[in-house]
Structure 1
Amino acid sequence: MFGFGGQGKGLAVVAILIGLNAPARAGDVLYASLGDTTRSPIGWVEFCAENPGDCRGGASQPRDIVMSQTAWRDLLRVNRWVNETVKPITDMDHWGVIEKWSLPSDGYGDCEDYVLLKRKMLIDAGWPREALLITVVRDKKGEGHAVLTVKSNKGEFVLDNQNENVLAWTETGYRFVKRQSQSDPNVWVSLGDSRPAVATASARDR
């Protein structure tokens, strides 16, 4: 679908593809728990002011994708291609400001910029915007980080510039803080982990 060149597929990826055909097991947590409406990140607000075409929203029906093997391979290709193509740089080094979200048109960016490009590429390829949600998390060090959540009939999966593989959200080790609403990309909702408390006890709250 995307033609980004050959990608090696390890045993872990093969196992995930096989698992896509299997029913969910009892106890699996497929979806994060949604909370109340919360403030949009200032980076998103400023990005939308400069790029309104990438932020068109308005009320719409939430749509999840059907996670077929073809869709899974497309996610892997996009995630790896963007991760390999964009070079990491802090906003301070890049723009001289603490926080700025932008599409990495010059080939450089930080985590939000990787997310924006992956989201745009998938939307341009025909994926429903309602299933592609920019998400703010706390990483394993307790630091702020952004990833792209893909909402599917098989659960929620994460595209991350810190990992070449696409993982189920429960496998990331992150503390999920907030993300875009499926019904409107300019509305953000807080997130609560539905996993056992031990899985998130070490992460600091935002």
Structure 2
Amino acid sequence: MIRSNSKLKIACFGIALALTSTLAHAAPARFMEMGKSVSAPLGHVQFCLDNSEACIGQPEQPVVVKLSENRWQELIDLNKRVNKKIRPVTDEEQFGVLEYWGYPTNGQGDCEEYVLEKQRELLKAGWPRSALLITVAKDMKNAGHAVLTVRTDQGDMILDNQIEAVLPWYATPYRYIKRQSTREPAKWTGISDTRVTAVGSVGN
């Protein structure tokens, strides 16, 4: 396992950065191209009403995280841990409504619960809020999906409950639509995902 073998860990980290560098030549950029301000998802509006402290704006300059080996491993471990501890159920099954965003207080939820928990745990670990952005995309079936974008000096990395690996945004099989503002978590910005085709399906 990566966490029990430091040499393998370093090698995997190097491979990941090499992948980021290589794929960047075939993709628009390592960072998503942001567009105009757009409306927040209704589920996030409701979430902010229920959790106002999580949606307060930040006066400081938005930052990206320097992706050291330890930081990279922290993302991998966190993504795996949260994916394992939450049981996937739909909002309709759990809450009786089509869309509801909240923390997984009962250990289950859909993609938004995974994202909110990952964001919350990384904030507790000291990661800056401006680098942890809830992001909405269309999946391979053209259905709505939420992931967590982590802004790093190596590019925008994606933490996802459908894919085990932590990947650069352009290496995931999604069409990105919008994400949280880096300065004001309650506001959202459109994403100009101009790639001609989505990346091929990535296995779990």
Report how far residue 183 of structure 1 moved. 1.5
- Please state which structure has a larger fraction of its residues in helix: 2
**Which amino acid is 1:141 matched to?**
K
Cα gap change, 1:7/1:39 in structure 2, threshold over 3 Å: closer, same or farther?
same
Residue matched to 1:103: 103
Report how far residue 60 of structure 1 moved. 3.4
Report how far residue 19 of structure 1 moved. 3.7
Residue matched to 2:62: 62
* SS state at 1:117 partner: helix
Report how far residue 187 of structure 1 moved. 1.3
Cα gap change, 1:199/1:99 in structure 2, threshold over 3 Å: closer, same or farther?
closer
Cα gap change, 1:126/1:14 in structure 2, threshold over 3 Å: closer, same or farther?
same
Residue 164 (1) aligns with residue 160 (2): no
Residue matched to 2:117: 117
Cα gap change, 1:159/1:13 in structure 2, threshold over 3 Å: closer, same or farther?
farther
Greater shift in the superposed pair: 129-138 or 186-195 = 186-195
Unmatched runs of 5 consecutive residues or more in structure 2: 200-204
Which structure 2 residues correspond to residues 62-81 of structure 1 after superposition, within 5 A? 62-81=62-81
* SS state at 2:126 partner: coil
State the aligned residue count: 193
Identity percentage over the alignment?
Answer: 41
Q: Is the 8 A contact 2:62 2:130 kept in 1?
A: yes
Give deviations 1:99-148, integer Å, cap 9, x for gaps.
10010010010000100000000001100000000000000111000000
Residue matched to 2:13: 17
Cα gap change, 1:45/1:80 in structure 2, threshold over 3 Å: closer, same or farther?
same
Distance 1:43 1:185 in 2: 14
Distance 1:8 1:110 in 2: 31
Report how far residue 61 of structure 1 moved. 1.3
Distance 1:112 1:79 in 2: 14
Cα gap change, 1:17/1:140 in structure 2, threshold over 3 Å: closer, same or farther?
same
Q: Is the 8 A contact 1:20 1:154 kept in 2?
A: no
Residue matched to 2:197: 198
Distance 2:179 2:167 in 1: 17
Residue matched to 2:202: none
Q: Is the 8 A contact 2:10 2:69 kept in 1?
A: no
Residue matched to 1:3: none
Distance 2:194 2:154 in 1: 16
Greater shift in the superposed pair: 20-29 or 32-41 = 20-29
> What RMSD in Å do the two structures reach over aligned CA positions?
2.4
Report how far residue 181 of structure 1 moved. 1.1
* SS state at 2:179 partner: strand
What TM-score do you get using the length of structure 1 for normalisation?
0.86
Report how far residue 13 of structure 1 moved. 7.7
Distance 1:13 1:171 in 2: 21
**Which amino acid is 1:89 matched to?**
V
Give deviations 1:49-83, integer Å, cap 9, x for gaps.
11112222244311100011100100011110000
What TM-score do you get using the length of structure 2 for normalisation?
0.86
